[in-house]
Amino acid sequence: MEYELIVRGGTVVDGSGAPRFQADLAIDAGRIAEVIADQESDQASAVREIDARGLVVSPGFIDLHSHSDWVAPIVEHAAILKPFLMQGVTTFVGGNCGFSVAPVRARARQMLDESGQMLSERKFAWNWQEVSEFAAHLKRQGMALNMAQLAGHGSIRLCVMGADAGEPSPEQLREMQAMLERAMADGAVGLSTGLGYFPGMIAKPRELAAMARVAGAAGGVLTSHLRAYSTRSLFFQSEVPHNLLAVREMVEVAREASVPLQISHLIFVGRRTWPTASETLADIERAAGDGVDVAFDTFPYTCGNTTIRVIFPAWSQPRLEELLDRTDGWAQLRDGFQPLRAFIAEAVQLMWAVKPELAHLEGKFFGEIGDAMKLDPVEAYLTIARESGTRARVLNHLYSGDDDGNEEALRAAMSHRLNAFEMDTILTSRGHHNPASFGTYPRILGYYVRELGLLRLEDAIYKMTGMAAQRMHLKERGLVRKGYAADLCIFDPATIGCAADSRLPDQHPAGIQHLLVNGRALIENGKWCGDGVLAGQWLARA
């Protein structure tokens, strides 16, 4: 039998967590046609061969926590998202943290443009409302990677309620549920929530459970950017660590709604929060043992990208721009930020300032920006917030560890059996980049697996592929199996790695020799050959 392609002589790490084995893979029509055991391989031939001797053959990596649905609908997305492919990512799940580009309503267009400005390259034509229309748009346009989509609670709420900070009326709640129900019927993989952001921060557990029940009934997942990731927050009044209370809140919502829960980017923000990692992980294990289908995800950095708005108190969110323009509002915000002064100065790095005339400050920490502007770091933060129309993007540090290698909390979360890997990165052509956009998966495989021995290679790959596909209900993805999609990352386990860090983020990884998306080559013999290749597919929920 002659195949289109044979990957010969590689060590297959199949994405299930099972021990590695030697096999050849025959590929036809974008699928794995056969997994051929070593001793039988001589009988198979192909038009093209990849020599994978000495290399690991794994499923392409799946980023189950992406915001790139805000970039995918434009033609330039292929060039912008190229760093994902260069690190072996073949699939992403968009619409996280409550903000998705579908389903939407035309009447909320302006608000969506504003709230999505930080995540997107430029404004959309919005020639879709429903998830099915969005999928049709992507299919017409073409996609560089495979993509699945979550429906965002925040986007749906904005479409139905506008900036209303109250609770939804029964009619409004029914309308929100109907939007989600349609999205699920159109193939969305679940519901995402962003409870640290407006308007998710307004939503009470009752509202979240009412929505989550719709996702669960359709066989989807609930993902949650929790209300708090640090011991103290503005959301709870309690001596119990707030990040722990935030986990418990969503576990109860998931239990009530009978829906699998994926806790998004389980980070422990700030030095005082790191010691709560073991207690939090034990709590999640207890919930899992007690019948809640719960897991979480992490990225391998002690910094993460977010909006400059994230640390502003809930009361200020609906009218933040107005407050920043008023002397009394400014003074009130400044005084309220004093407990966070040291964090803002040392641990918040400006990534995108929005205004070109402030671009020289991108990449700097707010202590440095304060020095450059001759302002206190808190004043500098408020100034950039105001000047950017509150749309600036920042990279916050001290997430589960620091740059000096104090990262017990990060490693405990990364190596935990309930953890899947993800990137949670915002990648546009503008501003200073997040190193996660360039190096996430190679860093895990090079630094945490090979150098530190924190995880077995098989377990790390499972958390990047099979586990991610299973959590997100992706059909025939994430495993090296006969009949599965030929999304393959073929890398050298001795050299894979990436040096990208928060100061010098745009460094490409080493060690990836071949990359296939649905059988089409984007990297060959270590060289990028994917310009203009749109091999990605829309993935509806299995």
| Binding stretches for Zn ion (CB under 5 A) | 97, 225
Paired with 23 in beta bridges are 10, 37
How would you label 173-193 residue by residue, b for 16+ Cβ within 10 Å and e otherwise?
A: bebbbebbbbbbebbbbbbbb
For residues 519 and 30, the answer to whether their CB atoms sit within 8 Å is yes
Inter-CA distances, 311 with 130, 191, 297, 338, Å: 32, 24, 22, 12
Burial class (CB in 10 A: 0-12, 13-18, 19+), 63: buried
Classify 35 as helix, strand or coil.
strand
CB of 267 to Zn ion, least distance (A): 9
Main-chain dihedrals φ then ψ at residue 17, nearest 5 degrees: 95, -10
Closer CB to Zn ion, 23 or 295, in the complex: 295
Instruction: In whole angstroms, give the CA distance from residue 497 to residue 440.
Output: 9
CB of 97 to Zn ion, least distance (A): 3
Largest Cα separation within the chain, whole Å, is 79
Closer CB to Zn ion, 112 or 378, in the complex: 112
CB of 427 to Zn ion, least distance (A): 15
CB of 70 to Zn ion, least distance (A): 13
CB of 262 to Zn ion, least distance (A): 12
Classify 290 as helix, strand or coil.
coil
Closer CB to Zn ion, 190 or 446, in the complex: 190
Closer CB to Zn ion, 97 or 143, in the complex: 97
For residues 53 and 32, the answer to whether their CB atoms sit within 8 Å is no
CB of 306 to Zn ion, least distance (A): 7
CB of 421 to Zn ion, least distance (A): 15
CB of 65 to Zn ion, least distance (A): 7
DSSP line for 298-322: E-SSS-EEEEGGGGS-GGGGGGHHH
Instruction: In whole angstroms, give the CA distance from residue 468 to residue 511.
Output: 23
Closer CB to Zn ion, 58 or 390, in the complex: 390
CB of 280 to Zn ion, least distance (A): 17
Closer CB to Zn ion, 138 or 426, in the complex: 426
Q: Which residues are CB-contacts of 264 (< 8 A; sequence separation ≥ 6)?
A: 65, 96, 97, 192, 223, 224, 225, 226, 296, 297, 424
Main-chain dihedrals φ then ψ at residue 390, nearest 5 degrees: 60, 25
Closer CB to Zn ion, 98 or 168, in the complex: 98
CB of 334 to Zn ion, least distance (A): 26
Closer CB to Zn ion, 225 or 443, in the complex: 225
Nearest CA-CA partner of 95 in 222, 282, 212, 271:
222
| Cα 79 from chain centroid (whole Å) | 19
Closer CB to Zn ion, 11 or 230, in the complex: 230
Closer CB to Zn ion, 97 or 202, in the complex: 97
Closer CB to Zn ion, 225 or 477, in the complex: 225
The residue type found at 21 is F
Instruction: In whole angstroms, give the CA distance from residue 347 to residue 107.
Output: 38
Inter-CA distances, 245 with 210, 249, 251, 283, Å: 20, 6, 10, 10
CB of 152 to Zn ion, least distance (A): 11
Closer CB to Zn ion, 301 or 538, in the complex: 301
For residues 513 and 55, the answer to whether their CB atoms sit within 8 Å is yes
CB of 264 to Zn ion, least distance (A): 5
Sign for the pseudo-dihedral over CA of 76, 80, 85, 86: positive
Instruction: In whole angstroms, give the CA distance from residue 221 to residue 148.
Output: 12
CB of 67 to Zn ion, least distance (A): 8
DSSP line for 451-481: IT--S-HHHHHHHHTHHHHHHTTBTT-SS--
Closer CB to Zn ion, 152 or 478, in the complex: 152
